[in-house]
Structure 1
Amino acid sequence: MRFSITDSKNKTFNLPINPKEFAIDAATDDKTVSVVKLGQINLIGDEKLKSIEIASTLPVKTKDVHYLSTTEVYKNGQTYLDKLTKLYKAKKPVRLVISDTKVTFKGIISEFKYGMADGFAEEYTYTLKIGEYKAHKAKKVKAKKKSKKVAKKGKSRSKPPKKISRGSKVIVNGRLHGDSAGRGPGMTERNATRKISLVAPKAKYPYHVATLSGGARGWVSKSAVKAV
């Protein structure tokens, strides 16, 4: 069995001594909530990122060490430490493959500890932790420029008619009557400039017109007057 590490440039090296054990940490992002009349329930979440941790030793000098796990070794342990430190600082994905198993783990080295133990100066001890890496890429979205909409030129809206009320100046074209009911028809006005002196809104001839100086003329229909 070999423990092989491949860097982001596809260069591979084997660890000289296999760890006694390895462990893959897998979990889901579950949440516990309380439900009325049911109590606590478990909401199963999505899978969290996995991690794998190995701990082993590196001979200070690999020559004449009889317990190596591979024949392809560097001359000394410091070379391995330098390589692992470089991979740790690079913050780029690596792949750990364990032969004779289905373990092929791609991730970032999130933790690397090393030193010496038990006063033994012939080998380094180290712990290596790799966190799962999932490729992702941010997508840039360009903001759409707001187009300046120009209203199409159409027919101009006609001005609303002026409101006619008592005191309004009007042009009269129509027959004059003695009262608002239409009794006593008299003369007919032609483009005469007058003013409204009285208003009977519901009458047949609702407007009483007079000269601009105030002289009474008579009652006329609504259609006979036009505001000036």
Structure 2
Amino acid sequence: MVNMPVNGFGVYITDYSTNRTVELPVNPSELTLKYETDDKSETIVNLGEINRVGNMKLVSLSIDSVFPKKHNSWVSSDKLLKPDEYINWLKNIQANKHHVQLVVSSTQISVTMTISSFEYGFKSGFADEYAYTLGLKQYREVKYHKVNVPAPPKPKPRPAPPKKLGIGSIVIVNGRLRLDSYGSAPGVYENNVRRRITYLAPGHPFPIHVALVNGGPRGWVRQSEVRLA
């Protein structure tokens, strides 16, 4: 916290957007710059409360003074504007989100700031000057850099699972037909012909029964003797 009287000093505000500089007509009785850190308090078991020191917060400043309508002995600026000119100028800076440079002559105070609040009016029924409170907050410029993040490659489509033999499957048969699934009564050979599976007997030597595609039964064959059509 910095407190200093500024009687006889000049308080200047420069609008960065227009490069216009205005000196406040009446110096405030004091000028206070507030410096603080973004600390966090935590409670540690068997130790108690501790303070985690944070980063510096934005410097804030409040100015309380007046805009007189007439030149008098307490006016510190060489050029006195009409109160409405000061008021409209400050309101325009705030409304257009301009940042300003605050400089106090004969001191090291020079801070880039924005107008965070502005109040004005009359006090004690005295209409020859406007009383005002000007709140300023430090401005920090932030530059953004566009970063191109490559899109992740599309996953390759998963291969379709192999088709399984089942009742109703159309198959190509190359083998000798049997009377039953145990291999009784070997019959004729089927050579590279289309058939349809009608029964299954898992675990048997000849577990697949085939028929004509249109329905007529043929016989039982080994699993190795059929493949999907």
Cα deviation per residue 1:9-59 (whole Å; 9 max; x = unaligned)?
Answer: 221111111111011112111111111111111111222111111111221
- Residue 17, structure 1, aligned to residue 15, structure 2: no
2:12 paired residue among 4, 21, 27: 4
Q: Which has the higher strand share?
A: 2
Q: Which residue of 1 aligns with 2:44?
A: 35
Kept after mapping to 1: 8 A contact 2:179/2:187: no
Q: How many Å apart are 1:94 and its aligned residue? A: 1.1
Matched, 1:111 2:121: no
Distance (whole Å) between structure 2 residues aligned to residue 38 and residue 149 of structure 1: 52
The residue aligned with 1:68 is 75
Q: Which residue of 2 aligns with 1:227?
A: 225
1:196 Cα deviation from its structure 2 partner:
10
Give the aligned residue type for 1:92: H
Q: CA deviation at 1:74?
A: 3.4
Structure 2 vs 1, CA of residues 37 and 147 (structure 1 numbering), >3 Å: closer, same or farther?
closer
**Runs of 4+ that moved beyond 6 A:** 196-199
Tell me how many residue pairs correspond in the alignment. 177
Say whether residues 1:87 and 2:96 are aligned partners.
no
Cα distance, 1:170–1:88 mapped onto 2, change above 3 Å = closer
Identity of aligned pairs, percent? 33
Which runs of 5 or more residues in structure 1 are unaligned? 152-158, 163-168, 172-192, 200-207, 214-224
Structure whose alpha-carbon radius of gyration is higher:
1
| Closer, same or farther: CA 59–226 of 1 in aligned 2, 3 Å | closer
- Answer whether contact 1:61 1:75 (CA < 8 A) is retained: no
1:179 aligns with none
Q: Distance in 2 between matches of 1:198 and 1:29?
A: 83
Query: What is the distance in 2 between the residues matched to 1:44 and 1:92?
Result: 31
- Asked if 1:78 is matched to 2:84, the reply is yes
User: Within 2, Cα distance between the matches of 1:34 and 1:105?
Assistant: 36
Mapped pair 1:59 → 2:68: yes
Cα displacement (A) at 1:66: 3.0
Amino acid at match of 1:97: V
For residue 121 of structure 1, give the secondary structure of its aligned residue in structure 2: strand
Is 1:99–2:105 an aligned residue pair? yes
Tell me the distance in 2 between the aligned counterparts of 1:82 and 1:47: 32
Q: Aligned-pair distance for 1:150?
A: 7.1
Amino acid at match of 1:129: G
Taking the aligned partners of 2:119 and 2:81, their CA distance within structure 1 comes to 21
Deviation at 1:67, TM superposition (A): 2.8
The 3 A distance-change label for structure 1 pair 148 and 211 is same
